[in-house]
Chains A and B, each alone.
Chain A
Amino acid sequence: MDWHSAQFRFSLTPLLTLLLVSFGLVPACTKSIPPGTLVVANNADVQSLDPQLATGAPEGRVLSALFSGLTRIDPSTLKVLPELAEHFSSPDGGYSWEFRLRPNLQWSDGSALGAMDVLESWERLQSPATAAPYRDWLHDLTEGGLVVEDNILRVKFQSPKPFFPGMCAYHALAPVPPGLRDGSESAGKVTSGPFLLGSRRIRDRIQLQANPHYWNERKVHLPGIVFLTVESQFTALNLFLTGEAHFIPDVPALAVSSLYQREKQLIRDKIRGPRSRPEFDPQPFLATYFYRFNTTQPPFDDARVRRALSLAVDRTLLAKTLGSGQPPAKTLIPNSLPNWDGPDGHNYDPETARRLLREAGYDSEHPFPKVELHYNTAELHRDVAEALQAQWRMVLGIETRLYNQEWKVFLDAQKKLDYQLSRSSWIGDYLDPTTFLDVFRSDSPNNRTGWKDQRYDLLLEKAKKTTHQQPRMHFLRQAEEQLLREAPIMPLFHYAGRELVSSRVQGYRRNLLGTIHWAGLHLLPSTQAEER
């Protein structure tokens, strides 16, 4: 028998069939992107398209294109603007709010959308069966605090909520369609925002197209948006630099300096005018990177020790070492928050740090014990931990052991207070100091430091009951002072929004919340300069 024998050919047939099938599948896996479509490399895959169940930034980007809230945040001014509600007001300093919905609003399937939809959606959000992560946002409604009358929604809280209209811009409070409320249809099928769901392939892409039933449909410029799932930041950067994606939400830290160089190069080569919006321009973002102390165990059950460690950190040096465009943080709340005048915070002060440690009883005869520092496996976190280790050794002579953990193990350890020092971060949801300060209330599930402080809780409670903005901010400032004095946490730096946005994208404004008004964007046709 030889190579050409029938038997041999028969043996190879299945193998060749597999190869043919595999190439036959190429068209099935392929979807072309229509021209004029904005392509976003959206980091991790979206967990859910249900606006009440989703959390996280990639989800936020997709859901803000699909679902409109009663209000929206203007990306340039950060002012709260009417969206589905044409008017909103509070007659009593924020205890109650009235939203008058626009007439003739429609869901993307053409059915009517009214105030009753909002009411029923918020009832769904509150229901334990929904298991909605943002359920607490409506926890202090009064009994019967939601009423609908003539397409007007009235909301009444037990304490004033002056920032409530701003919260209504977030997808968690956007109305969800009747089919999703009664469980008869899947999430994303019917929407209320400027776009509707064209198709989705898990871990590949979410393709959106303009919603013809959107109330402000005339003002939507993009025919569609494609959100690609691209988990690797380097891959996202490659897609952007080759013109395959127009927007990427973050860049690898390693690429920051060369992206700055690239901006200069673009201007030098006259590809972009010096006045036009830069493609890369890190701006403050409402988020803080900090470390948690486990305050239930020695040595960190002593506030002096915690403060000593925090004062021994040179944050300016840290930020410079990281070199990734993130400004140093002396406080928990970023000073970029509008109308906020926060306390001075933790300055680098090695003398005071050493004194505090001595006062706490640690000296050459009673050396400070070796402590463990937990962080989840990632390059940035390792760099920060190593910088802290070096600075503490130099300033206080303290030895630390770095301990990296897989993400879920890390979270579990933090939740169970099974750590001494643990890395953390917090992103603000809305433009009010309480979006940060509420985290460290004694009863907050996000506290995870074991720190319980009556004075802190009381100050937040006082602020909560105050309708006038000035005394309210005064209480909140005092609360942050108390937090920094007791130091259950050690702020290190604030995040910067490091998105890369193609100069072809018009109408884009960088802002503190990372809010994107998708309806206001449009994509210029590719120019020759771009192709160069």
Chain B
Amino acid sequence: MKRFLRRLLALTFVLFFVHAGTFFMVHSVRGGPFDSDRQLPPQVEKALLAEYHLDEPLLQQYAHAVSGVFHGDLGPSLRYRGTRVADVLAEAIPISITLGGGALFVALLLGIPAGLWAASRKNKSPDRFVLSVATLCMALPNFVLAGGLVALFSFSWSLLPPAGLGGFRHWLMPCFCLGLPFAAQVARILRTSALEVLETPAVLAARARGMDSETLLRRHVLRSALMPVVAFLGPASAGLLTGSLVIEQVFALPGLGAHFVQAAMNRDYTLALGATLLYTAVLGLFSLFTDFLLARLDPRMESLS
């Protein structure tokens, strides 16, 4: 418990530094939130800068932003005039959880069996097959995969809608595209760790006792071999949850990923800060959660850390 609280405190410090770093970085980039190819009349631009305190010295603006965060207020969005950053993020979070959760499901559903299969047939054709497919899936850019799937499932077979939010069917392609590279990584990690476990004396002894290989894999190998996968899942889940800009754009999904990138492009300082804070918090909490999970899986981890 004490360790958990200590980690939580460390995360708070991390958030503080990330906030400060992001604030000064986004403000130092050239161009402002109200620059447009249709230049605002000078008085109008002045009024706007004043409205959002952007005419104040930078340190004063920073103090303003920090006090806002302490009061749970991320401020107004500069691009979506009349909308709070918190509201913008709150609308995007359910989308990202669904997309990320679905992708995680795909990653585990495909990655774990593939990894185990490859490990149990080391250096035989199933192993080579899994490794080649996994390498291909990791190398294949998201948008290529997405384009191919849309061509097949939306145009050739008219089975799935090509983009947009809607029913369950709308989520299949985006979750699959986002999850597939992670599934490949899970398979490779699991294969490597399962091979290591297969060489341990306990497993050799079990094999010597005549245990059939399926039971062996299920009861003895998987549990130990999953440890590196769980460690990988922490940051991977955070990455999946904050979504992928490419997948969101290809499938027109209003998740966090695009906000994360476009807020900076639009010089929407407040939204960029809010999105970065949220991302950092999610990443921190997930790695905390992973450590907790690892400790449950292997009590030695707790004493080690």
| Additional A-B contact list (19), CB under 8 Å, known A408-B29, A415-B39 | A3-B219, A3-B222, A8-B296, A18-B97, A29-B95, A47-B79, A47-B80, A48-B80, A128-B44, A133-B41, A203-B92, A203-B259, A238-B150, A239-B163, A239-B164, A242-B154, A244-B162, A412-B30, A446-B39
Within the complex, the shortest CB–CB distance from B142 to chain A, in Å, comes to 13
Interface contact A202-B252, CB-CB below 8 Å: no
Which residues in B have their C-beta under 8 angstroms from that of A413? 30
Q: Is the CB of B98 within 8 A of A446?
A: no
Chain B nearest Cβ from A151, distance in angstroms: 30
Taking a contact as CB atoms under 8 Å apart, the answer to whether A29 and B94 are in contact is yes
Stretch of B1-9, B12-20, B101-109, B125-133 that contacts chain A: B101-109
Whole-angstrom distance from the CB of B261 to the nearest CB of chain A?
11
- Inter-subunit contact B39/A445 (CB<8 Å): yes
Contacts of B32 in A (CB 8 A): 408, 412
Residues of A within 8 A of B104 (CB): 18-19, 22
- The answer on a CB contact under 8 Å between B81 and A48 is yes
* CB-based contact A28/B94 at 8 Å: yes
Q: Is there an interface contact between B101 and A23, defined as CB atoms closer than 8 Å?
A: yes
> What sequence of 0s and 1s flags, for each residue 13-25 of chain A, a beta carbon within 8 Å of any chain B beta carbon?
0110011011101
Chain B residues closer than 8 Å to A132, beta-carbon distance: 44
Interface size for chain B: under 10, 10 to 19, 20 to 34, or 35 or more residues?
Answer: 35 or more
B260 within 8 Å of A (CB atoms): no
**Which segment, of A78-86, A229-237, A330-338, faces chain B?**
A229-237
The reply to whether the CB of B47 lies closer than 8 angstroms to some CB of chain A is yes
**Cα of A411 to Cα of B165 in the assembled complex, Å:** 33
- Let me know if A378 is at the binding interface, CB within 8 A: no
Q: Does A135 belong to the interface (CB within 8 Å)?
A: yes
B42 in the interface (beta carbon within 8 A): yes
Could you say which residues of chain A place their CB within 8 Å of the CB of B297?
A: 8, 11
A230 to B251, CA, bound (A): 9
Chain B window 267-298, contacts with chain A (Cβ cutoff 8 Å), 1 for yes, 0 for no: 10000000000000000000001000100110
Instruction: Say whether A187 contacts B252, CB under 8 Å.
Output: no
Contact status A202-B83, CB under 8 Å: yes
12 residue pairs bridging A and B, Cβ less than 8 Å apart = A11-B293, A26-B168, A28-B94, A29-B165, A131-B47, A131-B51, A135-B44, A239-B162, A244-B163, A409-B30, A412-B35, A415-B39
Q: Is the pair A448, B39 in contact by a Cβ cutoff of 8 Å?
A: yes
Contact B40 A23 (CB under 8 A): no
Say yes or no: B82 contacts A186, CB within 8 Å: yes
Q: Are B38 and A131 in contact (CB under 8 A)?
A: no
Q: Which residues of B contact A (CB under 8 A)?
A: 29-32, 35-45, 47-48, 51, 79-83, 87-88, 91-92, 94-95, 97-98, 100-102, 104-105, 150, 154-155, 158, 161-168, 170-171, 218-220, 222-223, 233, 237, 249-254, 258-259, 265-267, 289, 293, 296-297
How far in angstroms is the closest Cβ of chain A from B219?
A: 5
Could you tell me the distance in whole angstroms from the C-beta of B294 to the nearest C-beta in chain A?
A: 9
Find B38's partner among A8, A55, A230, A241 (CB 8 Å cutoff). Answer: A55
Q: Which residues of A contact B251 (CB under 8 A)?
A: 235
Per-residue interface assignment for chain A, residues 63 to 75, with 1 indicating a CB less than 8 Å from any chain B CB and 0 otherwise:
0000000000000
Known: A14-B289, A47-B81. A411 touches B101 (CB 8 A): no
**CB-CB under 8 A for A19 and B94, given A132-B44, A230-B252:** no
Please state if A55 and B39 are interface contacts (CB–CB under 8 Å): no
* Contact assessment for B267 and A25 in the assembled complex, using a CB-CB cutoff below 8 Å: no
Q: A424 interface residue, CB < 8 Å from B?
A: yes
> Whose C-beta in chain A lies nearest to the C-beta of B93?
A25
| A128-B44, A408-B265 as given contacts; A228 in contact with B252, CB under 8 Å | yes
Q: B141 to nearest A CB, angstroms? A: 14
Contact between chains at A18 and B101 (CB < 8 Å): yes
- Cβ-closest chain B residue relative to A376: B37
4 shortest interchain CB distances as A-B pairs: A22-B101, A408-B31, A203-B254, A238-B162
**Nearest-CB residue, chain B, relative to A53:** B81
Q: A203-B258, A411-B31 are in contact. Are A22 and B97 (CB under 8 A)?
A: yes
Q: Tell me the minimal C-beta distance from A387 to chain B in angstroms.
A: 21
Closest to B161 in A: A244
Complex: how many Å from CA A11 to CA B295? 9
Q: Which residue of B lies closest to A531 (CB)?
A: B158
Q: Are B35 and A408 closer than 8 Å at their CB atoms?
A: yes
CB of A383 within 8 A of chain B?
no
Contacts of A234 in B (CB 8 A): 250
Contact A409 B252 (CB under 8 A): no
- A276 close to chain B: CB less than 8 A: no
Q: Which of A130, A133, A136 has the largest count of B CB atoms less than 10 A from its CB?
A: A133
Q: Within the complex, what minimum Cβ distance (angstroms) separates B17 from chain A?
A: 26
B278 smallest CB distance to A (angstroms): 15
- Annotate A366-402 by CB proximity to B: 1 below 8 A, 0 otherwise: 0000000000000000000000000000000000000
Task: Out of A18, A25, A205, A232, name the residue touching B249 (CB < 8 Å).
Answer: A232
Q: Are B31 and A409 in contact (CB under 8 A)?
A: yes
Contact of A411 among B37, B88, B171, B289 (CB under 8 A): B37
Give the distance in Å from the alpha carbon of A5 to the alpha carbon of B10 in the complex: 33
Would you give the shortest CB distance from B25 to chain A, in whole angstroms? 14
Choose from A10, A128, A201, A407 the contact partner of B254 (Cβ within 8 Å).
A201
Which B residues are in CB contact (< 8 Å) with A407?
31, 265
Give, as a whole number of angstroms, the nearest-CB distance from B158 to chain A: 7
Q: Does A7 contact B (CB under 8 A)?
A: yes
Nearest CB of chain A from residue B186's CB, rounded to whole Å:
13
Determine the distance from Cα of A325 to Cα of B292 in the docked complex, in whole angstroms: 60
Question: In the complex, what's the smallest C-beta–C-beta distance from A35 to chain B, in angstroms?
Answer: 14
The answer, among A1, A133, A412, for a CB contact under 8 Å with B44, is A133
Q: Is A50 engaged at the interface, CB distance under 8 Å to the other chain?
A: yes
Pair B254/A133 contact, Cβ less than 8 Å: no
Are B154 and A238 in touch, CB under 8 angstroms? yes
* Residues in A whose Cβ lies below 8 Å from that of B29: 408-409
B155 touches A242 (CB 8 A): yes
A425 proximal to B (CB < 8 A): yes
Can you name the residue of chain B whose Cβ is closest to the Cβ of A20? Answer: B101
Point out the residue from A19, A231, A410, A412 that lies within 8 Å of B105, measured CB to CB. Answer: A19
Residues of B within 8 A of A187 (CB): 82
List residues of chain B with CB within 8 A of the CB of A448.
39
